[in-house]
Amino acid sequence: MPQLDVSAVRADFPILDRTVYGKPLIYLDNTATSQTPRVVVDAVTDMYYKHKANVHRGVHCLSQEATDAMETSRERVRRFINASSVEEIIFTRGATEAINLVASSYGSLLNEGDEIILTVMEHHSNIVPWQMLAQRKGLKIKVVPIDSIGRLDLDAYRSLFTDRTRVVAVTHISNVLGTVNPVAEIIAEAHRHGAVALIDGAQAVAHTAVDVQALDADFYAFSSHKMYGPCGIGVLYGRKSLLEKMPPYQGGGEMIGHVSFNGTTWADLPYKFEAGTPDYVDAAAFRTAIDYLTGLGIDAVAAHEDELLKYTTERMMEIPGMRIFGTAPGKCAIISFLIGNAHHYDTGMLLDKLGIAVRTGHHCAQPLMESLGIEGTVRASFAAYNTFAEADAFIAALHRIAPMLM
């Protein structure tokens, strides 16, 4: 496997040259959002400076150029996740909107008494839309628990199915625990019971190759900003046969075939689900981000992050009182921790003063925190541009602040 040239990678990210409180920035909040390489920012700038015009609606040159850029990006996304058709690639504002689209649109086909299976490790974005649907339609939500090291209890999962189970919605990788879920197995079990499966892939696409056909996923949602791309753009992959049966999520321009006061018809896929002027600028730049990530090599990035994870975890456990949440084998490069009973916010604030950016709080996963018996954690997470020198500085900072917190 080719080795990642981390020094060359870091040169692509100008923000990594800045200081915070007089200290070199060490950015370890990549699970929340990754930084953006210069080439992606340049792609955004190029669209605004040279090709800005509304897509799909104009016969003039600029409109055609913008349309071509957006649709080329759609095809790039299709290849990136190996969807069978661009009709299955819907641009959204992010994974959150993608999941809401499915809950609202596919959810409208469900009936009172139908059941949805979620897991305790879901992000709020894959809980709240289903709760809102359940309240509207009288549905029942069931929840898969985890074991002591952060793995889903698959026996419990299998036991939750009944003849009323209609949807299974599960994260590919936990944004708190780093657990990589066996989503192909989870999907297969859902299909055995006639249910559809939605996978929240927001944490997965930057760290592992995703093939929606190999997974046999019905829906797969992810965001650009967690994979070195621009904010405000994401993707819903949907199986074409399902998307064709689903009603539009929003109404307006772009998603129509013909409008009259006697009735309206819908546009063909994927435009049926893309009402209004789309974010064609960031959609175009998203293609550049995908090219950048695949140019680095997802396997090489994952191997580098895994080495950082193992090294940092081992060093962290030398610190008295260290508690790490999520120790499943093969986990992603996410470390959620507490130092004794110290408040996560205090730890995060002290690290910030040393130039180290981590996340603190419940990470939009309050049911998981409740299951763990804690209020929140400190979370450090790695990306392609992080280094072992940064890991050492992070460990040294923890050694420095731990006595202040205990």
**Is there a contact between 106 and 242 (Cβ–Cβ < 8 Å)?**
yes
Query: How far is it, in rounded angstroms, from Cα 142 to Cα 207?
Result: 29
User: Residues 61, 231, 332, 364: which is the catalytic one?
Assistant: 364
Query: How far is it, in rounded angstroms, from Cα 276 to Cα 251?
Result: 8
**Cα–Cα distance list, 135 to 95, 114, 144 (Å):** 22, 12, 20
Alpha helices in 203-334 (DSSP H): 212-215, 240-245, 280-296, 298-316
**Cα–Cα distance list, 381 to 14, 47, 55, 373, 387 (Å):** 19, 31, 37, 22, 12
Catalytic: 364?
A: yes
Rg (CA), the chain: 22
Query: Cβ neighbours of residue 39 under 8 Å, at least 6 residues apart?
Result: 12, 288, 292
Give backbone dihedrals phi and psi of 358, rounded to 5 degrees, phi first.
-125, 175
**Backbone φ/ψ region at 159: left (φ over 0), alpha (ψ -120 to 50), beta:** alpha
- DSSP code of residue 271: G
Alpha helices in 216-262 (DSSP H): 240-245
Query: How far is it, in rounded angstroms, from Cα 83 to Cα 250?
Result: 24
Q: How many CB atoms lie within 10 A of CB 65?
A: 18
Q: How many helices (H) and strands (E) does the chain have?
A: 14, 17
> What is the set of active-site residues?
364
